[in-house]
Amino acid sequence: MRVRRLLSGDELAVLHAAHLFDEPPGLAAVRAYLSDDRNVLLLAFEGSEAVGFVRGTELLQLASRRRQMFVYEIGVDKPFRRRGVATALIKALLQDCRERGFEEAFVFTDPANVPAVELYRSTGALTETPADRMFVYPLHSGLEPPV
Ligand SMILES: CC(C)(COP(=O)(O)OP(=O)(O)OC[C@H]1O[C@@H](n2cnc3c(N)ncnc32)[C@H](O)[C@@H]1OP(=O)(O)O)[C@@H](O)C(=O)NCCC(=O)NCCS
């Protein structure tokens, strides 16, 4: 399995992965989405088949120049679940954010969504309370000088 970030020019790859999304992607919307570098869309492939995706949008802050990654949505095609696809997608996203100096990544989920909660916990996300909807991946120690 390999994970690839989709960029401007990859619109057709997104349309071919329509089965992964709750609502079918449209060409104009996909083009606009990919043309904004703050949007990150990663697809996981088994051979030439798209089997999972994660997408997020980077946010600026007021107290720090370090960015945050808002992980908006993740999904894996049913026959490919429980094989580490989502884990690979999250790890690839976090690695990219770490390399680009992000403060943290965060994601919201329904605490009743056991697969999602277990995925986020097993990949290192933290909550303040067990019932929290927000899961946070801290990405830098805070010991570096402020930026
Ligand atoms: C949540 C989801 C993305 C997980 O994808 P996945 O590729 O199956 O996840 P992984 O194989 O990487 O699993 C990683 C860990 O998450 C946990 N996990 C995943 N699915 C689980 C399930 N059905 N029950 C319990 N734990 C589960 C396990 O700890 C698993 O590690 P393990 O297999 O070694 O025990 C997938 O179930 C999915 O697409 N669900 C529908 C969409 C959704 O709810 N998305 C999240 C909210 S936007």
d(CA 5, CA 56): 11
Residue 3 Cα to ligand 1 middle (Å): 17
How many C-beta neighbours within 10 Å does residue 136 have? 18
Residue 75 Cβ inside 6 Å of ligand 1? The answer reads yes
Specify the CATH number of the domain 2-138. 3.40.630.30
Query: Which residue, judged by its Cα, is nearest atom 27 of ligand 1?
Result: 115
pLDDT at position 129 is 87
**What are the 10-residue block averages of pLDDT along the chain, 147 residues in total?**
98 98 97 98 97 98 95 98 98 97 97 96 94 93 63
pLDDT at position 145 is 59
Residue 25 carries which side chain, given as an amino acid letter? P
d(CA 36, CA 29): 11
Residue 93 Cα to ligand 1 middle (Å): 16
Predicted model pTM: 0.96
Q: Are 109 and 127 in contact (CB under 8 A)?
A: no
Which numbered atom of ligand 1 lies nearest the CA of 87? 12
Closest to 89 (Cα-Cα) out of 51, 39, 130, 48: 51
pLDDT at position 29 is 98
Which numbered atom of ligand 1 lies nearest the CA of 77? 39
